[in-house]
């Protein structure tokens, strides 16, 4: 075998180590590597309509994964107590902040489950107002902007009514066996979702400014 400087292997000709091209070098830049999915991953240039969403929980999973805010890793929070599974991929929108001090939650409808920790481009269809144990916990309902089956959907009214019923029912039931109360209201149209996303972007920006002032 040759070494890293291209010396010949036994009985063979020298092997040259390939030079790093510009594409590889740019991927090694500190500015282009997302170290923390909440803070370092860009929300995307077309937000609030189309945005990046980090998937924490795959469609069909009974495992409640969630972001560990300190490390940026995805941790196992719990196994769902009820005999239900997540109806679609579920995660959060980077560089957003809500009143509960978490990023904005998002359910992404698409054909296939996505591994926790990956991110997809999502298109907002509506806002599902939710109260979880007395606290506001709204969810964005979206479709994958790059899924050919769903990318043409633009508003919550484009989805079949039964699909919306399933989504609402899941969130109403998934904590019942933990004796935790969840109230889900009617899903609101796309413009309301845009406003909620923009508000969470602004809140995140205000938090950063306040943090910088205090340092």
Tokens of 92: 């959060």
- Are 54 and 43 spatial neighbours (Cβ–Cβ below 8 Å)? no
Q: Which residue has the tokens 């890793």?
A: 73
Residue whose C-alpha is closest to residue 194's, from 120, 110, 131, 106: 106
Q: What are phi and psi of 211, to 5 degrees?
A: -65, -45
Query: Annotated active-site positions, please?
Result: 86
Whole-angstrom Cα distance, residue 132 to residue 80?
15
Q: Which residues are paired to 144 by β-bridges? A: 122
Whole-angstrom Cα distance, residue 132 to residue 138?
9
DSSP H helices, 53-189, are 161-173
């Amino acid at each position: 075998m040759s070494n890293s400087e291209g010396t010949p292997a036994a009985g063979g000709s020298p092997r040259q180590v390939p030079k790093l091209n510009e594409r590889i070098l740019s991927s090694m830049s500190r500015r282009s590597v997302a170290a923390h999915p909440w803070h370092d991953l860009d929300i995307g240039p077309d937000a609030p309509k189309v945005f990046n969403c980090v998937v924490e929980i795959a469609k069909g999973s009974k495992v409640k994964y969630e972001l560990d805010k300190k490390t940026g890793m995805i941790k196992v929070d719990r196994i769902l107590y009820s005999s239900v599974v997540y109806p679609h991929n579920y995660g959060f929108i980077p560089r957003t902040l809500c009143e509960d001090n978490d990023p904005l939650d998002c359910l992404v409808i698409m054909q296939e489950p996505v591994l926790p920790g990956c991110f997809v481009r999502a298109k907002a269809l509506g806002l599902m107002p939710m109260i979880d144990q007395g606290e506001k916990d709204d969810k964005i309902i979206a479709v994958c902007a790059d899924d050919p089956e769903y990318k043409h959907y633009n508003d919550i009214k484009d989805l079949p009514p039964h699909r919306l019923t399933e989504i609402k029912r899941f969130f109403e039931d998934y904590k019942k066996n933990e004796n935790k109360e969840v109230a889900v209201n009617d899903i609101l149209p796309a413009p309301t979702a845009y406003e909620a996303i923009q508000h969470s972007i602004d809140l995140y920006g205000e938090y950063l400014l306040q943090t910088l002032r205090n340092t």
